[in-house]
Amino acid sequence: MIHIKTRSFAALILSLSATLASAQERAQQLPSIQLGAGMHLIQAEVAQTDEQRAIGLMHRPTMPANNGMLFVFDQPQPQCFWMKNTLLPLSIAFVADDGTIVNIEEMKPQTLDSHCSAKPVRYALEMNTGWFAKKGIKPGTKLRGKPWAQ
């Protein structure tokens, strides 16, 4: 009897591992672009479909120091994010169509707390927690890169 339960538990763990690996693989196959913030360069994966945005940075145990994820929406509107299934503490900058950071929020991992844009935006940039503050990047700073090229 114990052997059967152990086997069922092992099968459940394998199934969950496969689901996690599948989500990580999809997230890791996103296109990447280079952005600028002041004198700092950012390598950002671009999440632009509903599925890509829904997965975001979930289940990732680490992220390199100057890497992030740029979320691109079809039109400016109030955007809200939460951290369910996200293992990393993150900072999020909500960004206007011209590349100007509207507001920055700090987000704790694995919570359902909402973090929303102060006004309608089409872009949100997630970085490791404290990245913006450490680099002196604040609301009003203008980001550079393909989405905001003139």
In the numeric block, which tokens belong to residue 56? 């975001």
Across the strands, what pairs with 95?
101, 123
CA distance 94 to 121: 7
Fold of 2-148: Jelly Rolls (2.60.120)
pTM (predicted TM-score): 0.82
pLDDT digits (tens, 9 = 90+) for 90-120: 999 999 999 999 999 999 999 999 999 999 9
Query: Using 50, 70 and 90 to split pLDDT, how confident is the model at 29?
Result: confident
pLDDT at 8 over 90: no
Numbers of helices and strands, H then E, in the chain: 3, 9
